A = this chain, B = another copy of it.
Amino acid sequence: MTTSTPGGPDRRPGERGDLLDPLCPTRRLLDRIGTKWTSMAVKVLAEEDPGELRFAELRRRIPGISQKMLSVTLQSLVRDGLAARRVEPTVPPAVHYRLTELGRSLEGPLSTLRIWAETHMPEVDRSNRLADGSAPG
């Protein structure tokens, strides 16, 4: 999402007071859940919670995701402390993922968004079609 911390490197989060700061927590959260597969992965993991899912099983449950993007997405989740990774030292290795408590706590806000989306995105789509139809060329 770009947001490459413009304005100099010597800025602290929360400085200058308000949520409009480029480093504000909301912006940084949106940068994360805005990436294409993150919210899907959280949802799928949350549905399995408190259980775990293996890499291949996650891939099956997220149709269309590539191996690379699942890997990148899970690494981000683990790095952010939203998911945990557990490796069984077998051959071949079996890697399991689960939500952390922090990850679980994100499910509420995300489901709120989902409900709004399911309820109101049809209106947004109608609005877009209207805009397309009124003055296209």
Query: Which residues of A are interface residues toward B (Cβ below 8 A)?
Result: 1-3, 6-7, 13, 16, 19-22, 24-36, 39-40, 43-44, 61-64, 78-82, 102, 105-106, 108-109, 112-118, 120-128, 131
Assembly CA distance A115 to B25 (angstroms): 9
Q: How many copies does the complex hold?
A: 2
Residue among B25, B63, B126 making CB contact with A121, cutoff 8 Å: B25
CB-CB under 8 A from A1, the residues of chain B are 34-36
CB-CB under 8 A from A24, the residues of chain B are 117
Contact B113 A113 (CB under 8 A): yes
CB-CB under 8 A from A35, the residues of chain B are 1, 34
Contact B123 A102 (CB under 8 A): yes
